[in-house]
Chain A
Amino acid sequence: MLAKQIYDVVIVGSGPGGVAAAIEAKKAGADDVLIIERDTELGGILLQCIHNGFGLELLKEDLPGPGYAQHFIEEMLSLHVEVLLNTMVMDITPQRHLFLSSKEHGYVEIEARSIVLAMGCRERTRAQIRIPGYRPNGIYTAGTAQRWVNVEGYMPGKEVVILGSGDIGMIMARRLTFEGAHVERVLEIQSYLSGLSRNLVQCLQDYDIPLQLNHTIKRILGKNRVEAIEAVQVDEKWNFVPGTEEIIPCDTLLLSVGLIPENELSRKAGVKLDPITSGPYVDETFQTNVPGIFAAGNVVHVYDLVDWVSEAGFSAGKSAAKYAIALRNAEARYTPLVAGKNVRYVVPHKLDKSTLEAEDVRLQMRVTRPIEQPVWVEVHDGENLITRKAERYVRPGEMVTVVLKTKNYADVAKASKLTIDINPR
């Protein structure tokens, strides 16, 4: 079971953005911080990015992705952040209710004083770049292949062509080569590299994998499994240059054609998205247009350096904690007034405790039924009586009142709610 029904800060996603937000939320004074991850482990995409190059900015160390992730996860766990794994956040309302689904915990609704969205991003697929041809097996996004090769331990191809010169594609070119596959070439429709030039050197040139700029795929051949692709050169307007077609036999096509922030959930919560970044509009505290909902990491816009994702997470976590604490304090100012035994309703519905410090407050109510005998009108906090008033009888037609005095302030300040009962004397 979950420890709480209401949390200060709930973080959706445990990549570097989410983990950093959890750390900083705790440090900034949030009490109940919950991080929710749909996968079997904490860490996000970094767990499959086993190559080096992470942490140079923040940790001054050249770490592989899983090591970078673990560094911050350990810090987060030492701060007693509550963790839910194998749990998908299905829905978020603008009022910050979250619906979670998991095998272990069932389908549950929780509330958060503030939320940090850290769902990361997903990869663009074939249709978004519209390659005609069959729909055989053997066309994967580079990230899917990365998960298979590095985490699950299976090779999805032997002869590989990569479309797009994004970083993940170039990194996978090297990975597949390391594991005995043959990467035929990388095709890029633009006239320039879309990833980092260091990856061009370290991942392609070092292993003599050709990169063809101004080239794309005209057609995919093979009905059940990819058998070949037809590559073609393009002009500045991306029109095919006739006569430059070339059939390249291969069994696998990897797509590395870009990342898009993952914002299905954000939309449900009423978060406004920027059509250019595909991520939420945020202010400098990483708050979205929905008060109390923050966002950090690739869910906002696609980063090329994880260190900066962590930085954004820290900032969002801190702001989220601040928001939650302010809300909690505001909640603490008020005490709800509850109609108890024989009472139909009480006005006011809630009491600002600070008012009682300065002046008396009269509570007005009506009873559910006539009681034709002497009664006590009692105000209590669930355990202790705070004040009471005697009446000779009560009737629904006649309003009943009782006054809370300034001298009751100390007792009221401690109460989480006040109940008014009417009992026969």
Chain B
Amino acid sequence: MQEKYDYIIIGGGVVGCMIARWLSRYEGKVLLIEKEADVGMGCSSANTAIVHAGYDPLPGSLKARMNVKGNAMWDTLAGELNFAFERRGDYVVAIGDDELPLVHKLMDQGKKNGVPGMMMIDGAEMRAREKNINPETSGALWASTGGICDPFQVTVAAGENAVMNGAKVLLNTAFQDFIMEGKRIIGVRTNRGDFLCRWVINSAGIYSDDVMHKAGVRPEFIIKPRKGEYYIFDRADVSIDNVLFPVPSAKGKGILVTTTLHENTIAGPNGTIIEDKEDTSSTKEGLEEVAAGALKLVPSLNLRHSIANFAGLRPMGNGPCKTPGVVYNNDYIIEIPEEVQGLVNLGGIESPGLTSAPAIAEEVVDMLRDAGEKFVEKKDWDPIRPGRPRFRNMSHKDRQLLVEMDPRFGQVICRCENITEGEIIAEIRAPIPARTYDAIKRRTWLGTGRCQGGFDMTRVVTILSRELGISPLEVTKRGTGSEYLFRQTKQVEG
């Protein structure tokens, strides 16, 4: 018997997980399929982690509406899902007098978009607020509703809350095609078999064009990956406490310098349009561009204190804006298309997609309701996803109590970030289990410090093998094909 669902969500990025969370509130069976070994392995874990205020998108666009609405939802969301989020505000900094008019323009745009809490500050004030800023600064836009978060935590917390409320998440499960009955979608075909359903939600990120094309929807819509590369700095050596944007250019919001919730400063991203949707490699040229951009804002930044680089791909679409009179060809697509029945179609959810994710989820529910879905709230719906202890952030007293309760929290595995065995095991046993090194890394921030896993790697491989009941030879970094070890030392061939 094939399993039958009410809603199948394709793609476990922040958008897919947020939709799963919204749908799991109501009666009906929800399945989320994700092709990778974990949720959030696409652009939801490789981005700048900023909850944008909303002055950036073009007034009238769907992007602008989702951004501003989404931004306002974050405090409640963070409270319910127990992830770290700080409304620190952000700055768009003009360097030299020429850039100042552009900042004023952003302010106007923000007002049109309905962004609250913005103010212009002068150069002296900017220098006082951020001592590392380029002294040539002539002024800045201060947007007090800007925030920072850990985007992966957000993704996994939303997914977990969905699972707690009855949704099912299948990892390593790739959508291949739709199962159709005439014009009606009745299920999906995957590498792990067929699943029937009444509705499919396409939130496949950078592959959402391929998915919609399989249903015959918007053949002209294509997604171009636009690569953004980053530097991460050692928090012991570099500390920029603010979110600093340069003035935007034709290429986008530009290369910013910002702090993260883990207190590491990051710089990036650039924006290079590429062809290969899998190419998340960093390049020498790209990193040089990022370095130059970052130094423009913070001339004292020392690249020698960088501890890692990474790259993410923006799913840049060519969807036209539907608002009459607004000419814009990179807008979000959020629709129930007419060509087929049973599809909620998303596309081009690039930045500020993270910020917008809760608003997009609500929009999807609203559209489905308009399409005749009768949403009945589950009696036992629980919006709260409980947090798990983070040893590193605890006081000495709390650590003592925690270790008394469960001694495994006393065994420190990652020496730089102070992640304990207890935390690792908790993640392996979580509602969406962490089954790879990277899954643990993204959930706990283990191995992200200055030794970049050099110390913990061998130990985590041992724990994963023990807890999952597999051989160390089968433990992977990020799924099949990324195993750590080849054979036992003494089993020499020949």
Instruction: Please tell me whether chains A and B touch each other in their complex, using a CB distance cut-off of 8 A.
Output: yes
Per a CB cutoff under 8 Å, which of B308, B407, B482, B489 touches A225?
A: B482
Inter-subunit contact B280/A134 (CB<8 Å):
yes
Residues of B within 8 A of A108 (CB): 400
Cβ of A102 under 8 Å from chain B: yes
Give Cα A316 to B483, complex, Å. Answer: 43
Cβ of B494 under 8 Å from chain A: yes
Cβ of A130 under 8 Å from chain B: yes
Cβ of A1 under 8 Å from chain B: no
Inter-subunit contact B486/A157 (CB<8 Å):
yes
Give Cα A94 to B272, complex, Å. Answer: 49
Q: How far is the CB of A389 from chain B (nearest CB, A)?
A: 43
Q: Indicate with 1 or 0, residue by residue over A61-97, a CB within 8 angstroms of chain B CB atoms.
A: 0000000000000000000000000101011000000
Contact flag A91-B396 (CB < 8 Å), given A86-B411, A127-B309? yes
Q: How many contacts A-B (CB < 8 Å)?
A: 153
Cβ of B455 under 8 Å from chain A: yes
Give Cα A147 to B420, complex, Å. Answer: 20
Give Cα A156 to B486, complex, Å. Answer: 6
Inter-subunit contact B403/A149 (CB<8 Å):
no
Give Cα A108 to B397, complex, Å. Answer: 9
Contact flag A127-B454 (CB < 8 Å), given A103-B408, A134-B281, A157-B486? no
Per a CB cutoff under 8 Å, which of A101, A122, A127, A143 touches B412?
A: A101
Inter-subunit contact B418/A125 (CB<8 Å):
no
Residues of B within 8 A of A101 (CB): 399, 403, 410-412, 420
Residues of B within 8 A of A223 (CB): 278, 280
Cβ of A417 under 8 Å from chain B: no
Residues of chain A in range 145-170 having any CB-CB distance to chain B below 8 Å: 147-150, 152-158
Residues of A within 8 A of B281 (CB): 132-134, 219-220
Q: Indicate with 1 or 0, residue by residue over B389-402, a CB within 8 angstroms of chain A CB atoms.
A: 00000001001101
Inter-subunit contact B407/A104 (CB<8 Å):
yes
Per a CB cutoff under 8 Å, which of B306, B410, B479, B485 touches A107?
A: B410
Per a CB cutoff under 8 Å, which of B232, B420, B454, B488 touches A141?
A: B454
Residues of A within 8 A of B490 (CB): 153, 179
Q: How far is the CB of A278 from chain B (nearest CB, A)?
A: 11
Q: Indicate with 1 or 0, residue by residue over B467-494, a CB within 8 angstroms of chain A CB atoms.
A: 0000011001111111111111110111
Contact flag A267-B478 (CB < 8 Å), given A88-B412, A91-B396? no
Inter-subunit contact A152/B458 (CB<8 Å):
yes
Give Cα A144 to B455, complex, Å. Answer: 7
Q: Select the stretch in B8-16, B215-223, B283-291 that faces chain A.
A: B283-291
Q: Which residue of A lies closest to B481 (CB)?
A: A224
Inter-subunit contact A127/B476 (CB<8 Å):
no
Q: Which residue of B lies closest to A123 (CB)?
A: B454
Cβ of A185 under 8 Å from chain B: no
Residues of A within 8 A of B487 (CB): 154-155
Contact flag A156-B284 (CB < 8 Å), given A38-B415, A125-B307, A128-B307? no
Per a CB cutoff under 8 Å, which of B283, B404, B473 touches A106?
A: B404
Residues of A within 8 A of B280 (CB): 134-135, 223
Give Cα A257 to B450, complex, Å. Answer: 14
Residues of A within 8 A of B418 (CB): 90
Cβ of B77 under 8 Å from chain A: no
Cβ of A218 under 8 Å from chain B: yes
Cβ of A140 under 8 Å from chain B: yes
The interface on chain B, measured as residues whose beta carbon lies within 8 A of the other chain's beta carbons, has a size of 61
Cβ of A370 under 8 Å from chain B: no
Q: Which residue of B lies closest to A100 (CB)?
A: B410
Residues of B within 8 A of A134 (CB): 280-281
Contact flag A130-B451 (CB < 8 Å), given A90-B418, A152-B462, A154-B473? no
Cβ of B176 under 8 Å from chain A: no
Contact flag A180-B494 (CB < 8 Å), given A127-B307, A137-B478, A157-B486? yes
Residues of chain B in range 284-320 having any CB-CB distance to chain A below 8 Å: 284, 286-287, 303-304, 306-310
Inter-subunit contact B452/A137 (CB<8 Å):
no
Per a CB cutoff under 8 Å, which of B306, B411, B462, B485 touches A127?
A: B306
Give Cα A15 to B338, complex, Å. Answer: 70
Per a CB cutoff under 8 Å, which of B306, B310, B396, B494 touches A130?
A: B306
- Chain A, interface SS category: mixed
Residues of chain A in range 194-236 having any CB-CB distance to chain B below 8 Å: 218-220, 223-225
Cβ of B282 under 8 Å from chain A: yes
Q: How far is the CB of A137 from chain B (nearest CB, A)?
A: 4
Cβ of B236 under 8 Å from chain A: yes
The interface on chain A, measured as residues whose beta carbon lies within 8 A of the other chain's beta carbons, has a size of 54
Give Cα A122 to B402, complex, Å. Answer: 29
Residues of B within 8 A of A281 (CB): none
Inter-subunit contact A218/B481 (CB<8 Å):
no
Residues of B within 8 A of A264 (CB): 236, 415-416
Q: How far is the CB of A237 from chain B (nearest CB, A)?
A: 15
Give Cα A200 to B32, complex, Å. Answer: 55
Q: How far is the CB of B416 from chain A (nearest CB, A)?
A: 7
Give Cα A106 to B409, complex, Å. Answer: 9
Inter-subunit contact A107/B283 (CB<8 Å):
no
Contact flag A90-B412 (CB < 8 Å), given A107-B396, A143-B454, A154-B472? yes
Give Cα A249 to B479, complex, Å. Answer: 22
Give Cα A157 to B489, complex, Å. Answer: 10
Contact flag A137-B482 (CB < 8 Å), given A103-B407, A107-B410? yes
Cβ of A109 under 8 Å from chain B: yes
Q: Indicate with 1 or 0, residue by residue over A53-64, a CB within 8 angstroms of chain B CB atoms.
A: 000000000000
Inter-subunit contact B484/A106 (CB<8 Å):
no
Cβ of A99 under 8 Å from chain B: yes
Cβ of B457 under 8 Å from chain A: yes
Q: How far is the CB of B55 from chain A (nearest CB, A)?
A: 33
Q: How far is the CB of A300 from chain B (nearest CB, A)?
A: 18
Give Cα A313 to B148, complex, Å. Answer: 46
Residues of A within 8 A of B457 (CB): 140, 144
Residues of chain A in range 115-142 having any CB-CB distance to chain B below 8 Å: 122-123, 125-128, 130, 132-137, 140-141
Q: How far is the CB of B206 from chain A (nearest CB, A)?
A: 14
Inter-subunit contact B287/A130 (CB<8 Å):
yes
Give Cα A220 to B477, complex, Å. Answer: 17
Give Cα A150 to B458, complex, Å. Answer: 12
Residues of B within 8 A of A125 (CB): 307, 450-452, 454
Q: How far is the CB of B424 from chain A (nearest CB, A)?
A: 13
Inter-subunit contact A154/B488 (CB<8 Å):
yes
Q: Which residue of B lies closest to A147 (CB)?
A: B458
Residues of chain B in range 429-484 having any CB-CB distance to chain A below 8 Å: 450-452, 454-455, 457-458, 462, 472-473, 476-484
Per a CB cutoff under 8 Å, which of B304, B399, B482, B485 touches A154?
A: B485
Residues of A within 8 A of B452 (CB): 125-127
Residues of A within 8 A of B309 (CB): 127, 130, 132
Residues of A within 8 A of B408 (CB): 103
Per a CB cutoff under 8 Å, which of A103, A144, A147, A156 touches B410?
A: A103
Inter-subunit contact A155/B412 (CB<8 Å):
no
Inter-subunit contact A106/B479 (CB<8 Å):
no
Give Cα A107 to B422, complex, Å. Answer: 14
Inter-subunit contact A102/B410 (CB<8 Å):
yes
Per a CB cutoff under 8 Å, which of B411, B455, B488, B494 touches A155?
A: B488
Give Cα A103 to B488, complex, Å. Answer: 29
Residues of B within 8 A of A105 (CB): 410
Q: Which residue of B lies closest to A135 (CB)?
A: B310
Sampled A-B contacts (16; CB under 8 Å): A86-B411, A90-B399, A90-B412, A90-B418, A103-B407, A106-B407, A107-B400, A122-B450, A123-B454, A125-B307, A125-B451, A132-B284, A143-B454, A144-B457, A148-B458, A152-B472
* 8 closest A-B pairs by CB: A180-B492, A137-B477, A224-B481, A224-B482, A154-B485, A137-B482, A125-B452, A107-B400
- Other than the given A107-B402, A127-B452, 16 more pairs (CB < 8 A) read A104-B410, A107-B396, A122-B455, A125-B452, A126-B452, A127-B307, A130-B306, A133-B282, A133-B283, A137-B482, A143-B454, A147-B458, A156-B485, A179-B490, A180-B493, A218-B284
